[in-house]
Structure 1
Amino acid sequence: MTILRSRFITGEVIENHAWTERLLSLRIRANQMPFRAGQFVRLQLPVDGELVAKSYSLVNAPDEPDIEVFYNRVPDGQFSNRLASLQTGDSIEISQPAHGFFVLDEIPASRHLWMFATGTGLGPYISILKTAEVWERFEKILLIHGAPIVKELAYADQIETWQQSNPDQFWFTSCITREKNPAGLHGRVTELLAKGELEKQVGLTIDKESSHVMLCGNHNMIDDMKASLAERGMSKHLRHKPGHITTEKYF
């Protein structure tokens, strides 16, 4: 994520929801400025007497009043543990305006939009899928979420709502690596793509003629996916050089 100059506003914690011991969603009430779905803000807190700020993608849609971020609690991470300790009514600072180019405005026209996420990389897709634009622009929207265990598949109820309301347009699958996955696939996203299992399940092929691919999350997944897609003639999308892949690296 590119860090740009920002000012900070103070918000109030509304909820700090734990999906698992290490995955949480923080909801904050604040007078946020307009933003585009897929962008990120920086959260700032005092840690050991010093102000520390970290970047997090927004999960809330641009028309929702509360700020929401989906974050990973790292065992030895001072900032993430400080975030996890926040309770309703606590204060936190949020950078404004939001920044980032992982947004639909930067996606060229295509028929099929593939959204690949690992871990908390799911967050910006939830924001994007809450907007009308994504449903109006693409014939097919495919969301693939990789996680080690089934319990870490957050926002399942919201995703199921989209599956039910858009059964011919929206497709979702999970890729679980450390245990059986009764409702999805078992294995790493990159391996399942290489084996053809992902495309076989959905009945569509990722190609440069019909597809644009968004990648968000672990840098290893992103690098491996870019290499695999390059074999199909697909390249990173740049403003001065249109391509087929848009990325947002988290760690």
Structure 2
Amino acid sequence: MSNWVEAKVKDIVWWTDTLFSLIVNADVEPFKAGQFTKLSMMMDDKRIARAYSYVNSPDSADLEFYLINVADGLLSQQLAKLTPGDTVLIERRASGFFTLDEVPASEQLFMLSTGTAIGPFLSILEQGDVWQQFKHITLVHGVRLNADLSYQDKIAQLQQQYAQLHYLPVVSREPAIIGLNGRITSGIADGSLFTHCQSAVTPQNAQFMICGNPDMVKDTSALLTERGYTRNRRREPGQITVEQYW
């Protein structure tokens, strides 16, 4: 059986002139919230494939991916041209360990993301199991501009559904309309990221899932390590679980 199956484009939602969501339907294997798959297209007799995390809950019939149209991106530029009814190839089986079953239960969970890396967190939140593991969840989204804060309706809907969900945007290149100014790292360094929480944040009561570009993951992990948090490993559970997201 081929690992690639055809996916039919249902919709494309443009958030800004470079950020868009691709919604497709395809017969894929069951996946866990937080996992990624690959999309591919043929170009000049060559298959170009890239990994993208699922944004949708695993029980949704629509498969959704949150992308940035990169100026020199071989695949993203082609995906950005798709219209409803077109087809794209999708890897049948999902991959990755950025999932809840890899994260120890705790009182608080911080989901720290930048850019399109908010995608896997939305999948985890929509799936719902997360509320059995944590009392309070803070979804932090670091972006350059206020306009880059996509999925506002979905986040508001999740907050209505789950009173324990806090949402904290962090905007770096202009004054924030809501949330904090600066970067996630500065919010950790000066403590402003934690001030809106209802209790003190310590290694004993908090877990961190970090998803973003490699520099963000490295810098954020280093700041948390300085504060006594450790990387979460299967043999030695800690408080920091990461995924690199390009």
The SS at the match of 2:5 is: strand
Q: Secondary structure at the match of 2:153?
A: helix
**CA shift for structure 1 position 62:** 0.7
Residue equivalent to 2:167? 172
Contact kept, 8 Å, 1:59 with 1:125, in 2: the verdict is yes
Is the CA contact 2:109–2:208 (under 8 Å) kept in the aligned structure 1? yes
Equivalents in 2 of 1:205, 1:216: separation in Å?
23
Please report how far the alpha carbon of residue 186 of structure 1 lies from its aligned counterpart in structure 2 after TM superposition: 0.6
Alignment match, 1:236 = 231
Q: Which runs of 5+ in 2 are unaligned?
A: none
Runs of 4+ deviating beyond 4 Å = none
Q: CA deviation at 1:203?
A: 4.0
Match of 1:3 in 2: none
Residue pairs, 1:1-251, within 5 angstroms: 7-167=3-163, 169-251=164-246
What is the rounded CA distance, in whole Å, between the counterparts of 1:221 and 1:110 in structure 2? 24
Q: Is the 8 A contact 1:47 1:82 kept in 2?
A: no
Opposite residue 100 of structure 1, the aligned amino acid is G
Amino acid at match of 2:84: T
- Describe the SS at the equivalent of 2:49: strand
User: Could you list the per-position Cα deviations for residues 109-139 of structure 1 after superposition, in whole angstroms to 9, with x for gaps in the alignment?
Assistant: 2111110000001000000001121112211
Task: Give, in whole Å, the separation in 2 of the partners of 1:205 and 1:81.
Answer: 45
TM-score by length of 2: 0.96
Whether contact under 8 Å (1:114, 1:211) holds in the other structure is yes
How far did 1:219 drift?
1.4
* % same residue: 40
Q: Specify every segment of 5 or more residues in structure 1 that has no aligned partner in the other structure, as ranges.
A: 1-5
RMSD: 1.2
AA at the equivalent of 1:210: N
Q: 1:249 to 1:83 in 2, by over 3 A?
A: same
The two structures have a TM-score, normalised by structure 1, of: 0.94
Aligned pairs, number: 245
